[in-house]
Copies of this chain bind each other. A is one copy, B any other.
Amino acid sequence: MKIVAAEKILRANDQLAEENREKFNASGVTCVNVVGSPGAGKTTLLEGLLAAIGDRVRPAVIEGDIAGSYDAERIEALGVPVVQINTSGACHLDANMIAAAIEGVECGDVDMLFIENVGNLVCTAGYDLGEHVRIVVLSTSEGDDKAAKYPAIFRGSDALFITKMDLKPHVNFDTERIAADMKRLAPGAPVFQLAAVRGEGIPEAAEWLLGKRQAKK
């Protein structure tokens, strides 16, 4: 596991994000930025997706956390290459951190790079990392009002993955309400319903994701 301390943000984020994307494009790497609240179930979702697509693409993961490497250890246990970024308190990843993380990584060996962002439904919205696809993850236990209350992150996302559908019978969560808000904020973005601990919804989400692959040069 590679650990990068992201302390100095030196370059304008958007320019660097574009450079990251060009690097991914040149190597045929599809980059997926996964955002959501703390505890939305991003790592468990990734575990499910990696198992579902692992025989068809070569994945890698960048884990973004304030501190520690708990999530990276979970991914490493699956045998998937992983880079941990510790943001030293910063509330989101940025393009410069990603550039540092992929430096020296042989992108030719990777087809799909997942970035699990810091758990934050606000700050991650403003930072393009150079990804091709951004997925916003919302768990049923967080409530169906989150798109209305935190619109920016939903507006900029290519899909909404509703996680913890297995908890839905125990919480107040109106799938129609959140789907309607998402349609208003991001028309055309699909909404997937998942219970990743049971594998439910994973095959459909994985297929959609595979359809987003960039051509391998």
A interface residues with partner B (beta carbon < 8 Å): 37-39, 65-68, 70, 89, 91, 118-123, 139, 141-143, 145-146, 148-152, 164, 166-167, 170-171
- Contact partners of A89 in chain B: CB under 8 A: 122, 152
Contact A149 B91 (CB under 8 A): no
- Min Cβ gap A10→B in Å is 22
A17 to B119, CA, bound (A): 27
- Asked if A143 meets B91 with Cβ closer than 8 Å, knowing A148-B68, A167-B171, the reply is no
Q: How many copies does the complex hold?
A: 2
- Contact partners of A164 in chain B: CB under 8 A: 141
- Contact partners of A166 in chain B: CB under 8 A: 170
A123 to B38, CA, bound (A): 13
For residue A139, which residue of chain B has the nearest CB? B141
Contact A67 B123 (CB under 8 A): no
For residue A169, which residue of chain B has the nearest CB? B170
Closest 10 CB pairs of A and B: A39-B142, A141-B141, A91-B122, A37-B38, A38-B121, A39-B143, A37-B37, A91-B123, A70-B145, A120-B122
